Amino acid sequence: MAVADPIARLVKELARLPGIGEKTAQRLAFHILEQGAERAGALAEAITGVVRDVRCCSVCQTLTDRDPCAICADPKRDPRLVCVVESVPDLVAVERTHEFRGRYHVLHGALSPLDGVGPSDLKIRELLLRLEREPADEVVVATNPDVEGEATALYLKKLLSPSGVRVTRIAQGLPMGGDLEYADQVTLARALSGRREL
Ligand SMILES: [Zn+2]
C-alpha cells in the first residue's frame, strides 16, 4: 500500500459499503481526512449511534430509537387495521401517500426459497403473536408486486385466514417486478385504496 496504514484501513472499511468501489472509497477517505477532526468525529458518532440506538419496535418491528415507535404509540392510528410491508423504506413510501391511518408490520424481507429465505427469517412469528395479542379486523398485505412479494402475500393469506381476519392485498396500479420504495405517490395511493380480498 502506497498510503499510510490508517488511511488504508479507512479505505478498506468504506469499500465494504454497497455501491462504493475502491476508487470512491479512496476519494471519501481523503475527503474525511481533509475535513478535520470535528467533522470526522460527528460522522463516527452518527455511525456508532445508529447501531447503538436503533432497534426493532417490539410491536411492528420497524426500526426506531424508542419502543414502541411513534406510529404504534399514536392513539389516532387504527390498531385494528394492519399494513404488512417488506421493509422500512416501503413503510415510509406508504406513509407518504397519507392514505393509510392504520398501523404497520415490517417483515424485514420476503419469502425467497431460491435465496434460502424462509418464514423463520422474516418477522412472521412476531406478526402472529401480535395479532393474537391485539386482534385486527383487516390485514393489508403490501409486499412488493414481484415473485417474492406475491409468494409472501399468499403465504400470509393461508396463515392468517383461519383466524377469521380479513386479508387484503394491494395490487392495482403497481407494475410487476417493481419496488414499492420507488413507486410514485399517486400510483401507490391508488393501489392502496384499490386493495382487494386475497
Ligand atoms: Zn411500531
In this structure, what CATH number is given to the domain that contains residue 138? 3.40.1360.10
Number of independent structural domains in the chain: 2
Asked whether residue 39 falls in the same domain as residue 83, the answer is no
- Is 149 domain-assigned? yes
* C-beta separation of 125 from 87 below 8 A: no
In this predicted structure, the answer to whether residue 1 has a pLDDT above a threshold of 60 is: no
Asked whether residue 110 falls in the same domain as residue 163, the answer is yes
- Is 133 domain-assigned? yes
In this structure, what CATH number is given to the domain that contains residue 24? 1.10.8.420
Q: 174 CA to middle of ligand 1, Å?
A: 26
Q: 60 CA to middle of ligand 1, Å?
A: 4
Which structural domain range is residue 105 located in? 63-197
Q: 46 CA to middle of ligand 1, Å?
A: 22
Distances in whole angstroms, Cα of residue 147 to Cα of each of 26, 135, 141, 183: 38, 29, 14, 17
Q: 180 CA to middle of ligand 1, Å?
A: 20
Q: 92 CA to middle of ligand 1, Å?
A: 13
Asked whether residue 44 falls in the same domain as residue 76, the answer is no
Q: Which helix (H) or strand (E) holds 63?
A: strand 63-64
Asked whether residue 95 falls in the same domain as residue 181, the answer is yes
- Is 58 domain-assigned? no
Asked whether residue 48 falls in the same domain as residue 105, the answer is no
Grade residue 179 by pLDDT with cuts at 50, 70 and 90. Answer: confident
What does the pLDDT read at residue 54?
97
How many angstroms separate the CA atoms of 33 and 40, rounded?
8
Q: 63 CA to middle of ligand 1, Å?
A: 8
Written as one string, the DSSP assignment of 135-168 is --SEEEE---SSHHHHHHHHHHHHHHGGGT-EEE
What does the pLDDT read at residue 172?
61
